[in-house]
Amino acid sequence: MTGNAAKQVRDVVFISKGTPDDDDFVLWLAPKLEAQGYKVFADILSLEPGDRWRREITSTLQARAAKMLLCCRDITLAKTGVQEEIGIALDLVKELGDPRFIIPLRLEKFRKLFGIGELQYLNFAGRWAGGLSDLLDALSKQGVPRDPAGVAINPNWENYRKRNAIALERTPERLTSNWLRIAELPEVIRYFQPTGAIDHQAFHQECADSRYPAELYLRGVFSFCNLAEINSDLSRIGRFSQIAELTLMDFVENGAASPAIRGREASNIVMSMLRRAWESYCRDRRLHTYFYSKLPGFHATEDLVPLGKRLRWGRQGENRSSMLRNKAQGRIWQFGVTALPAFWPFPHFKLKSRVLFAEADGEAAGAAIDDKDLQHQLRRRVCKGWRNKQWHGRLMAFLELLSGDEAFLKLPMAANAFVKLNAAPMLFTSPVTTVLPNDIDDADDDEDTLSIAPPDEEDD
């Protein structure tokens, strides 16, 4: 290190990253650090035309860096340039006497690397906002120089993002959503209370196990059943009387006076009942249930769809097909969905696509892999090559599996009360379109090179 370099102030937060894998993250992180008064260096922007990029990176790290933020995921840590930067930073740890000079930022689960394996990382995996809060706290506690009075955010972070963004044209485009519009709801919801003393624990269990959705509230229960059905279904608990019959949408929007309940809580109760009706509908069709962090997903099984079989879908002249189950990287993947009901801006169900991996027992699916991190890794490896048309095709094939030739999905809420969902997703019109070539033909929308079975000739 030269004498001039030694005199320079160490006031730079140096970000060690992999290109292009970490670009989106760094373009998000860097301006947020600058907004707090920190100086930031990242090779995505900080090099000027004519700079010898490796020399500039090295000199900045050696002479000006107060901390090195290390983006951590396996693909980044395997890059030669990042490993060279780690080597320089490890020398600076000793030279500066700062064992916390390197701050690892965990973007994904990663294998420990020699020299940094014991360093405590800050977790950004799935929680960028939470990770940023932890990082700012760490930089402050460790006394990294910043100038909150002289905040200067480099506009080129956003300019770079825009330069590499997909261009838009002001041409309307018809888009298929992942929303199923609710075409029909029961007109009323009823509230019942027991006429005498009951076992409340047993009452709770009976409602949870009931064939039709029922939600406990105060001493009673909300249901779409009539009084005779409630007294039949809950006969082991006691006798019930009907306290109120409420217009459903007025109840959702405004709540009720008797029983006293606010609109927000009433809406939550009805949405819970809609979720339960969807789950019962899927279980009745023998879909496999897998519980994710908050809600269950329902997946195609080998009893319904053989491995590698393409399901035809499409109406009004379309003739397309997609796979819902296949084999990749030694595991069986099974497509499915989680459904989320909502009333705004109008009643609908939002479908979230899921892919569940199971161990392969020959050509049959064994038990679902219980390791959530491994599930996440497999989704990134296997599904990252799926195009939008493939995701769309799998969703359409899944809905075809549920609905058959019917135009509606009918979710039972009571013996004579149903929620009717349009079996086809809603169409929206976007005021703009992307300037992208359509370089994948309709017939090739399910070409899956990672899977064991290529598309059937007849489907091409």
pLDDT at 183: 97
Per-residue model confidence (pLDDT) at position 146? 94
101-128 burial string, b = 16+ CB within 10 Å, else e? bbbbbbbbebeebeebeebebbebbeee
168: in domain: no
CA separation for the pair 86, 127 (Å, rounded): 25
19 with 96, same domain: the answer is yes
Token pair in block for residue 286 = 């023998």
Banded model confidence at residue 265, pLDDT cuts 50, 70, 90 = very high
- Average pLDDT for 23-29: 92
Same domain, 433 and 338: yes
Asked if residue 417 is part of any domain, the answer here is yes
The pLDDT assigned to 317 comes to 52
Mean residue pLDDT of the chain comes to 88
Q: For 1-26, what is the mean pLDDT?
A: 79
CB atoms within 10 A of CB 28: 14
pLDDT over 60 (residue 283): yes
Mean pLDDT confidence for 138-162? 89
Do residues 199 and 147 both lie within one domain?
no
- 68/130 same-domain check: yes
- At which residue do the structure tokens 């196990």 appear? 209
Which residue, chain included where needed, has tokens 């890059």? 79
* Listed residues 259, 277, 295: the one ending a domain: 277
Which of 218, 246, 277 finishes a domain? 277
Please tell me the predicted confidence (pLDDT) of residue 243.
97
**According to the model, what pLDDT value does residue 436 have?**
64
Identify the sign of the CA torsion 265, 270, 274, 276: positive
408, 430: one domain: yes
pLDDT bucket at 351, cuts 50 / 70 / 90 = very high
Q: Is residue 333 part of a domain?
A: yes
Same domain, yes or no: 132 and 192: no
- Per-residue pLDDT, averaged over 346-373, amounts to 92
**180 pLDDT exceeds 90?**
yes
SS3 content of the chain, % helix, strand, coil (to 5): 35, 30, 40
Mean pLDDT of 363-371: 88
Cα–Cα dist 293/128, whole Å: 18
pLDDT band for 425, please (50, 70, 90 cuts). very high
The pLDDT value recorded for residue 162 is 78
In this prediction, residue 381 carries a pLDDT of: 87
Q: Which carries the bigger pLDDT value, residue 327 or residue 2?
A: 327
Give mean pLDDT, residues 161-179.
Answer: 84
Mean pLDDT for 183-197 is 97
Q: Are 280 and 298 in contact (CB under 8 A)?
A: no
pLDDT band at 361 (very low <50, low <70, confident <90, very high): confident
Domain boundary among 236, 252, 277: 277
Predicted TM-score of the model (pTM): 0.68
The answer on 445 and 300 residing in a single domain is yes
Q: How many residues does the chain have?
A: 460
Place of tokens 């060279």: 84
pLDDT, residue 3, reads 47
State residue 48's pLDDT score. Answer: 47
Confidence of residue 225 (pLDDT cuts 50, 70, 90): very high
Is residue 362 within 8 A of residue 404, CB to CB? The reply is no
Confirm if 244 and 258 have CB atoms less than 8 A apart: yes
Higher pLDDT pick, 182 / 51: 182
Q: Which domain holds residue 450?
A: 176-182+284-459
In sequence order, the β-bridge partners of residue 355 are 335
Give the confidence band of 52 by pLDDT, cuts at 50, 70, 90: low
DSSP string, 215-262: EEETTEEEESS-HHHHHHHTTTT--EEEEEEEEHHHHHHH-BTTTTB-
Residues contacting 443, CB < 8 A, separation 6+: 455, 459, 460
Q: Is 100 or 438 the better-scoring residue by pLDDT? A: 100
Pairwise pLDDT comparison (6 vs 170), residue with the higher score: 170
Evaluate whether residue 171 is within a structural domain: no
189 and 205 part of one domain: yes
Task: Decide if pLDDT at 130 tops 80.
Answer: yes
Q: In this structure, are residues 195 and 230 in contact, taking their beta carbons and an 8 Å threshold?
A: no
Question: What pLDDT does residue 315 have?
Answer: 64
- For residues 104 and 74, state if they share a domain: yes
Type of residue numbered 106: R
Q: Is 417 exposed, middle or buried (0-12, 13-18, 19+ CB in 10 A)?
A: buried
Q: Are residues 48 and 145 in the same domain?
A: yes
Residue 170 lies in a domain: no
Encoded amino acid at 10, one letter: R
Using only C-alpha atoms, the chain has a radius of gyration, in whole angstroms, of: 28
pLDDT score, position 296: 95
What backbone phi and psi angles, to 5 degrees, belong to 78? -85, -10
Amino acid at 49: P
Closest residue by Cα to residue 333 from 311, 313, 308, 312: 308
Q: CA 374, 375, 377: angle at the middle one, nearest 5? A: 60
- Based on the fold, state whether residues 217 and 267 are members of the same structural domain: yes
pLDDT of residue 437: 58
- Residues 268, 292, single domain; the answer is no
Domains contained in the chain, number: 3
Residue 95 lies inside a defined structural domain of this protein: yes
DSSP 280: H
With a cut of 70, say whether residue 219 has pLDDT above it: yes
Question: Amino acid identity of 87?
Answer: G
* CATH assignment of the domain containing 102: 3.40.50.10140
41 in a domain, yes or no? yes
**Does residue 423 fall inside a structural domain?**
yes
